[in-house]
Amino acid sequence: ILPSSLKILDFSFNFLPTLKRSVFPQLYDLQHLDLTRCHIHHIADDAFLNMKNLTTLILTGNPVSYFGPDSLNVLHKLHRLVLMDSGLYSLNIRFNNLTKLQELNIGTNNIQSMALPPFMIHFEDFNLLDLHANNISILKVNDTNILQQMKGNLTLILSRNPILHIEPGAFQNMYLRELNIRNAFASLDAQRDGLKALSGLNVGKLVIGNYRLDYRSKTSDGDLNGLCLINFEEIDSLCAGWSASELQCIVNATKISIERGNVRAIKNVPFQRVKELRIVANYIPVSMELSHLETLETLVAIQTPNILIVRISDMPRLQHIDLSQNGVDIRNCCENYFKRMPNIRSLNLSNNRNMYLSKNPFSGLSSLEVLDFHQTTLGGLAANFKLYKKLWNVRYLDISYIGFMFRSTMSFGSLSRLKVLKMAGNHFQGDALSYLFENLTSVEYIDISNCEIDSIAWRTFKDLPRLQQLLLNQNRLMVLDFVTHPNLKDLRLLEVHTNIIASIPLNILQNLPKNLTVLDLSFNPIDCSCSQINFILWITSHQQIFPQKNNILCKSQSLGSSYINALGSRHKTIDFDVESCERIRRFTIVTSICAVVLLVLASFLAYRFQFYLRYGYILLKGYRTSRQQEWSYDAFVIYSSKDECWVMDELVENLENGIPPIHLCLHVRDFEAGKAITSNIIDEGIMGSRKIIVVVSKHFTDSSWCRFEFEVAQSWLVTQGNPNIIIIILEDVEEEKTKKVFGLHKTPEKEHLPEVELKSHK
C-alpha cells in the first residue's frame, strides 16, 4: 500500500502492459514518477488522473503504441517529460496543455524531423530539447520556425544523428544557450558543409567533435573553418583535428576545451577574450608557448606525454595552472616558467616524471594558495626548505610520493596559513617527524600514510591545535598513545588502516578526542582474545565511528593475504563471541577457588601430618643412598634436650672416655649447621652411625621430635635387617605411653635390655 503523501516513486523495471487509472491509488502529492522499462504498450486517457501534480514523468524504454488523446494533458504542472527509446516516429502526441514544460527528452527514437508542434510556442519556460540518437538527416528552415519564435534560453541536443544537410539560414539569428552536435554528421563532408550552414547562429556553448577518434577517416585542414561563421562564447571539442587556421576561428571564445585532439602547437594564437583554456590528452606532440593573454584566468594542459612547455609568462590575470599527468621532465622550475604572473593562486605539477627546482622557484608567486607536486620526483634544490619561506599564503600543499627523505633540520614552520598537508609515501630520518610540524597552527588535515612509520613521539602534534583529519594508513604503527595529546582535541577523523595494531589499551580509548567521529581500524591484526575483551566490547559499542567495520578483522585473518584467500570465512572483530569469554571467566574463577581450597586443605594436612611426611621422605631418601655411605659414628643418641645433663655427664663421659672409646653422634654437637634438621637426622645420625641409643624418659615421650627420630630409626633399621637399637630407660614411664611410643611392655630395671646389649657390644 502506497502512502498518499508519497512524493517520489521509482516503479521502473516492472510489468505494466496497460497503464490506466486503477494501477495506482490517489497520489496527489506525487511529483516524480519513474516507469522505465515497464513494458507499457497502452496508456489510457485516465492513466494519470490520480497524480495530477507530477512534475517529472519518465517513460524510457516502453514500446508505447497508443497514447490516449488526453493522457498527458492532465499533467498541467509537468516540468520534465522523458520518452527515450519509446519507438516514436514523430511528436504527434497531444501534450498541448503542458505549458509549464521545461525539458523534453525524446532521444534514441526514430524521429526524422526536428520540427516542433506549433502549440509549443506558448511553452514560455521551455529550455531543453534532447533529440540525440534519432534519425534526423535534413534540417530545413521550416523545421526551426518554432524554435526561432520561442526565443528562450534553449539547449538543443542533436548528437548522434546522421545529418547530411542543413539548409542555409535554418539557424540564422537564432540564439541557443547550448548546441550539441557531437557525432551529428554522417560524414566529414557533411560536417564541413553543416558548420558553414550554421552561419549566423549565436550560441553560449558549442559542443562538437566525436565520441571516439576514427583513424580511418581522412581529415584535412579547413574541416572546422565553418566555426568562423558561428558566434559562440564557449567551445567543447572532443576527438577533433585542429590546424593553425582552424584555431583562428575560436579566438573570440571565452572558454576553450580541446580533448583528445591533435593540436600541434598553441603559439601566437591571438585569443581575444579567453578566460579558460583546456588541452586534455592531445594525441600528438604539442608545443605550448603562451604569453600576454591579458584575459586568461585558467590554464589546463594535462594527460599529454609529449607536451613541450616553451614559455608561460606575462599573464596578469592567470590564477590557476594545471600541468599535471603529463609524465614529462620539468627543469629549472619554476621561475623561468611563471614570470610576471603575480595572481597565480593554484599550481598543479603532479604526476610528472622529474622536476628540478631552481634557486628561487617560487619567486613572484606570493599569492599562491595551492601547490601540488604529488607523484613527481623532486630534484635540484628541493631539499632546501628555505624555498617555502615566501609562500605566506599557501593553504594546500601536496608533496605525496615525491621520493623525499625528511631530516630533523627540516620544518614547514614558515607556512603559517597552511591548512592541508599531504606528504604520503615519503620517508623520515630518525626523529625528523617530531619536529616537522612546528608552528603549523592552522593545519586542519595531514596525510602521512605509507611512510614506514613505526612510532610517533608524544610531542609530534603539539603545535596543531586545529587538526581535524589525520591519515596514518599503511604504516607500521602498534600504539596510538599520541592521539591523547590535549592539543588534538578537535580531531574528528583518524585513519590508521593497514598498520599492525593488535589492541588499544582502555586508558587510551577513554581519552580519545571527544570530537572523533571517524576511526578507520580496518585491516589491522586485531587480537581477538579474552584478554582484550574491553577493547573488543568498545569496538562493538562504537560501530558508528568505523567506516569499514566489516574489515576490522581478527589477527588470524588480518595478516598477509589469508583474508583475501578466504573471504567467505573472515572473522570480523564485531562478530567475536563475547559470551564465551564470560563463560571462561566464570570457569577460571571457579577453578581458582577450588585450587585455593585444595591448597589450603593440602597445607592443613601437611601441617597436621608433617612428621609422617618427613618420615616417609627420609625413609625414601635413606633407602636410595644407604649403600653409598660409611659409618662416621659408633652410635647416634636420641634424647630429649631436657635430659641433656644426664646424657653429657653420664652417657657421653662413660662411653667416649672408656676403653675402647665409643664415638657418639649428638644433635647439639655434631649436626651440620645450616642443614635441615631432617637431613641431619638421616645423614649424620641414623645413616652415619652403627647403632642407635634411645634415652627414654617422661620428657622423651612428650617430645614429638624424639618420637619422630625413634620411628625413623626403627623403620630404617628394620628395612636394613639390622636391629641395632639400644634403649635406656632413665625413669618410670606410664605404660600406655611406652606402648604408644615403642610398642613394648616395661621390664625391671636390672633386666633392661639396652644395658645387656650395650655390655655385649663392649
Cα–Cα dist 184/204, whole Å:
19
Please report the pLDDT score of residue 201 as a whole number. 94
> Does 46 map to a domain?
no
> Does 415 map to a domain?
no
CB 26 within 8 A of CB 2: no
Q: Are residues 753 and 707 in the same domain?
A: yes
Q: What is the pLDDT of residues 713-727, one digit of tens each?
A: 777 766 666 667 888
> Does 385 map to a domain?
no
Q: What is the pLDDT of residues 574-605, one digit of tens each?
A: 888 888 887 877 888 888 899 999 999 988 88
What is the residue whose three cell numbers read 619554476? 334
Please report the pLDDT score of residue 56 as a whole number. 97
Q: Are residues 749 and 638 in the same domain?
A: yes
> Does 169 map to a domain?
no
Q: Are residues 551 and 667 in the same domain?
A: no
**Beta-carbon-side half-sphere exposure of residue 546 (alpha carbons within 13 Å):** 19
Which three cell numbers, joined as nine digits, stand for 439?
608552528
Q: Are residues 616 and 550 in the same domain?
A: no
* pLDDT above 80 (res 388): no
560, 576, 592 — which closes off a domain?
576
What is the residue whose three cell numbers read 570465512? 569
Cα–Cα dist 653/665, whole Å:
13
Q: Are residues 616 and 738 in the same domain?
A: yes
What value, to the nearest 5°, has the Cα angle with vertex 563 and ends 558 and 568? 135
What is the residue whose three cell numbers read 583554456? 277
* Residues of the chain by 3-state class (helix, strand, coil), percent to 5: 30, 20, 50
Which of 506-510, 625-629, 736-740 comes out lowest in average pLDDT?
625-629
More confident residue, 655 or 585: 655
Q: Are residues 618 and 567 in the same domain?
A: no
DSSP string, 28-91: TT--EEE-TT----EE-TTTTTT-TT-SEEE-TT----EE-TTTTTT-TT--EEE-TTS--SS-
Q: Are residues 651 and 557 in the same domain?
A: no
The amino acid sitting at 188 is L
DSSP E strands in 591-744: the ranges are 633-638, 664-665, 689-696, 725-729
Average pLDDT over residues 228-254: 92
Number of domains in the chain: 2
Note down the domain range covering 544.
522-576
Nearest to 347 by CA among 401, 394, 315, 382: 394
CATH of the domain at 680: 3.40.50.10140
> Does 742 map to a domain?
yes
Q: Are residues 537 and 638 in the same domain?
A: no
> Does 705 map to a domain?
yes
Please report the pLDDT score of residue 674 as a whole number. 76
Q: Are residues 571 and 616 in the same domain?
A: no
Please report the pLDDT score of residue 217 as a whole number. 58
Q: Contacts for 317-322 with beta carbons within 8 Å, 24 or more apart?
A: 317/343, 318/293, 318/343, 318/344, 319/343, 319/344, 319/345, 319/346, 320/344, 320/345, 320/346, 321/346, 321/347, 321/348, 322/346, 322/348
Q: Are residues 567 and 643 in the same domain?
A: no
DSSP string, 620-650: HHHHHHGGG----EEEEEE--GGGHHHIIII
Average pLDDT over residues 362-367: 83
> Does 655 map to a domain?
yes
Average pLDDT over residues 358-374: 86
CB 297 within 8 A of CB 275: yes
Nearest to 717 by CA among 740, 696, 693, 691: 691
Which three cell numbers, joined as nine digits, stand for 300?
589546463
> Does 172 map to a domain?
no
Q: What is the pLDDT of residues 216-225, one digit of tens each?
A: 556 677 889 9
Cβ neighbours for 435, distance < 8 A, ≥ 6 positions apart: 408, 410, 411
Q: Are residues 614 and 750 in the same domain?
A: yes
Q: What is the pLDDT of residues 500-541, one digit of tens each?
A: 999 999 999 999 999 999 999 999 999 988 888 889 999 999
Which three cell numbers, joined as nine digits, stand for 166?
542543413
Q: What is the pLDDT of residues 527-537, one digit of tens each?
A: 988 888 889 99
The amino acid sitting at 190 is A
Please report the pLDDT score of residue 181 as a whole number. 97
- What's the start-to-end Cα distance of the chain, in Å? 123
Dihedrals phi, psi of 698, to nearest 5 degrees: -65, -35
Q: Are residues 538 and 669 in the same domain?
A: no
